[in-house]
């Protein structure tokens, strides 16, 4: 009898697991980076890995998302034995619907763009709906500065939105016509000389993808985004920009012998006349999918600064996979 009860309990457990609507996805990448900096010895050799998992559970129109990320084991001098890296809970939130209103609550990252770095806040809440063809969104969080109201919509080939926040108003406009894509992103900040704006145009010419972008910052504002233009997050491994620095970038992308080949030139314009530090960054990126399911990427970077001791050359080898 006891065996029958145990077998029934096991069968019920297996059945519940099989019927649960749960999806697990993730990604991982391993990088080796070599950097040669002018006037600095020795050169740097860094091994680094980053891994993440995303678990999504659904029940009807309601789902719970849990994201876990880990990395940070840099290997600059032999084997790292600090044991400081761990899989940490990052995005944890629930989405559902109440009538025609979509609700999202919890903790999540707002993502990078070409003007500002990403940020993760706790106690976030978003309610959104559509009225008369307009998308209406209310945002809030434990931090009062995160409260905002956003209205947006699509008008023919143009998609536009305006978000009024605690201290920053955000305008976003994009359009696609005849194979040409244009977009604008602007931050209008209450503080003096703290506005930022970004313009982009892209398309394809003779099989070559072309993209051109300009990011401008007022004298008391800095560009801190991590985008195709560059990693300007003021974090380890990023290129930290000063207040008032403007960025102009162009990208050419094509396919060659099964590889995606990208060339980028980024110009950083320093507006400080007393200590000019203009920078030119050139990148060549070759990406190739492997038969193993992973993707290999080679990136060569040459940085030429007005300050000679900050000139660098180097390359990065990356193996990445998504599942």
Domains with residue ranges and CATH for the chain: 2-322 (2.40.160.10)
14 phi/psi in degrees, rounded to 5: -60, -40
Q: What is the pLDDT along the chain (323 residues), one digit of tens a residue?
A: 455 555 555 455 554 444 569 999 999 999 999 999 887 767 888 898 889 999 999 999 999 999 998 765 544 444 444 555 667 888 999 999 999 999 999 999 988 899 998 888 889 999 999 999 999 999 999 888 889 999 999 999 999 999 999 999 999 999 999 999 999 999 999 999 999 999 999 999 999 999 999 999 999 999 998 999 999 987 767 788 889 999 999 999 999 999 999 999 999 998 765 567 789 999 999 999 999 999 999 999 999 988 877 889 999 999 999 99
Q: What's the pLDDT at 78?
A: 45
Q: What's the pLDDT at 9?
A: 54
136: alpha, beta or left? (left if phi > 0; alpha if psi -120 to 50): beta
User: What is the H or E stretch that residue 260 is in?
Assistant: strand 259-269
Residues whose CB falls within 8 Å of the CB of residue 76, separated by 6 or more in sequence, listed in order: 44, 45, 46
**Are the CB atoms for 55 and 22 separated by under 8 Å?**
yes
Whole-model pTM?
0.84
Count the neighbouring beta carbons within 10 Å of the beta carbon of residue 227.
18
User: What is the H or E stretch that residue 13 is in?
Assistant: helix 2-19
Looking at the DSSP assignment, which residues form a beta bridge with residue 316? 33, 299
Tokens of 317: 């080898």
CB crowding 69-107: b at 16 or more within 10 Å, else e = bbbebbeeeeeeeeeebeeeebbebebeeeeeebebbbb
* Closest residue by Cα to residue 135 from 154, 157, 111, 113: 154
Q: What's the pLDDT at 77?
A: 45
The CA distance from 261 to 254, in Å, is: 5
The CA distance from 288 to 235, in Å, is: 28
Burial of 60 (0-12, 13-18, 19+ CB in 10 A): exposed
The CA distance from 222 to 211, in Å, is: 22
């Amino acid at each position: 009898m006891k065996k029958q009860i145990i077998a029934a309990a096991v069968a019920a457990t297996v059945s519940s697991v099989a019927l649960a609507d749960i999806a697990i996805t993730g990604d991982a990448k391993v990088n080796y980076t070599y950097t040669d900096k002018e006037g600095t010895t020795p050169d740097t050799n860094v091994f680094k890995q980053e891994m993440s998992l995303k678990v999504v559970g659904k029940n009807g129109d309601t789902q719970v998302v849990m994201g876990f990320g880990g990395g940070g084991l840099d290997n600059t001098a032999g084997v790292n034995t600090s044991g400081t890296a761990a899989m940490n809970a990052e995005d944890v939130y629930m989405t559902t619907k109440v009538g025609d209103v979509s609700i999202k609550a919890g903790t999540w990252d707002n993502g990078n763009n070409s003007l500002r770095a990403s940020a993760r806040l706790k106690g976030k809440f978003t309610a959104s709906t559509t009225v008369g063809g307009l998308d209406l969104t209310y945002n809030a969080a434990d931090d009062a500065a995160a409260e905002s109201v956003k209205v947006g919509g699509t008008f023919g080939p143009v998609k536009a939105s305006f978000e009024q926040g605690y201290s920053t108003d955000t305008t976003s406009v994009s359009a696609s016509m005849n194979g040409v894509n244009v977009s604008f992103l602007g931050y209008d900040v209450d503080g003096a000389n703290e506005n930022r704006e970004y313009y982009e145009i892209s398309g394809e010419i003779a099989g070559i993808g072309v993209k051109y972008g300009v990011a401008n910052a007022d004298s008391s504002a800095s560009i801190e985004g991590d985008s195709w233009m560059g990693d300007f997050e003021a974090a380890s491994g990023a290129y930290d920009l000063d207040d008032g620095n403007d960025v102009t970038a162009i990208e050419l992308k094509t396919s060659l012998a099964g590889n995606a080949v990208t060339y980028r030139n980024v110009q950083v314009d320093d507006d400080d006349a007393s200590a000019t530090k203009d920078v030119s960054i050139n990148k060549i990126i070759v990406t190739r999918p492997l038969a193993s399911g992973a993707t290999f990427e080679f990136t060569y970077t040459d940085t030429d600064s007005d300050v000679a001791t900050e000139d660098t050359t180097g390359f990065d080898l990356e193996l990445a996979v998504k599942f």
